[in-house]
Chains A and B, each alone.
Chain A
Amino acid sequence: MKYDVILAGVGGQGVLSVSAIIASSAMEEGLQVKQSEVHGMSQRGGAVYTNLRLSDETIYSDLIPIGGASLVLSMEPLESLRYLDYLNPEGQLITSSNPERNIDDYPDLDTLIGKINTLPHAQVIDARKLALEAGSGRAANMVLAGAASNYVPLKSETMEGYIRKIFQRKGDKVVETNLKAFQLGRENSK
């Protein structure tokens, strides 16, 4: 079994923290994991992504080959289209519909979402809305993690366990909000 994920977003959006949920859960389930990250200059509001590779065999390359990814998970709609070369034609694309407009030539949102929806296996999720429903707009990334949990070869309980662990020190309320957001993401993706 081999499962490659590209996580995409803008520096500061928490791409690494979503990546960590999947990576840590995979390790807990005994899989091998490689997570290649972007540090440095691009983290200042530029396009960032991680290459996350899960497998039950040795993983050689830190980088995902062209057409190798089974999932592109994007925190932001424009960024979801940047890594299509790496997405397998049978692979899934899941993106938040909430734009990060820190550039002047950001495309028209309706056109952009329309284009994403023409892709064969794409899902656009209003992560912010679902996060607010769960209790905090800041839990949007957990909504996306929840949506991804329908596809990654991991038990959702393992991922939930990890979410519980990372938010524990912030109190029960924060844990519950994030788990709820995860759950809503899970229910609102196919």
Chain B
Amino acid sequence: MSEPLVFKRYYVWQLPVRICHWVNALSILLLSITGFLIGYPVIAGSSPDAYVMGWVRFVHFVAGYALLISVISRLLWSLNDHCFSGWREYFPFLTREGWKNILVMLKFYFFIDRKTPDAVGHNPLAVTAYVGLFLIFFGMFASGFALYAEHAPGGAMHGMLKPVYLLMSTQTMRLYHHLGMWFIICYVINHIYSVWLLDVKEKGGEITSIFSGYKYTTKLHVFSEGKECDENGCFIKTKK
């Protein structure tokens, strides 16, 4: 216990990652509020020209487009060769190190061990939830835009979404779209709790990281390729 403890600062979330994150969070918030109001229109217009539902739906559609653009941008960004935001980070189950980290994390969650994984960037268990979330997003896009395009059958969007219409009836689409919201709400509860927990337990500025981009840690991120990461999140080749 004699050597001094060194917290190293890593640049884990680049600006585009943070922007996408907050655009996602904001649009999810708007989509859930307006979506709920579409399902249960509790706010009533007092006169026929009030356009209350009209605006609610308008906000829903604009936020829907914003989320679509943000999610696609994030996916494209994951193609760059960054240690922490690259696409490989999303699939820990493809590598042995990833599996090990998932196990460590599960032990942590089930109070078996107090150790957290040797991961500087994403939490290896959380990324599996992100992958699930992105799949739900695409379900929401498909059903949402398919419901939306029904105002103009024969239009380009309606044509593009033909597989969705062949797959299920409009009412089924509506039901799954509605249920999707509840799955996302469950995800958000889980997500906010987990980042809080890791913030408290790892003491590395987890929550701050999604605002500033930096995390502080004593750990060394282990990559399966035998690569290492510098403080900017760029790969450096090491001999192994």
Q: Do A and B come from one complex?
A: no
- B interface, CB within 8 angstroms of A: none
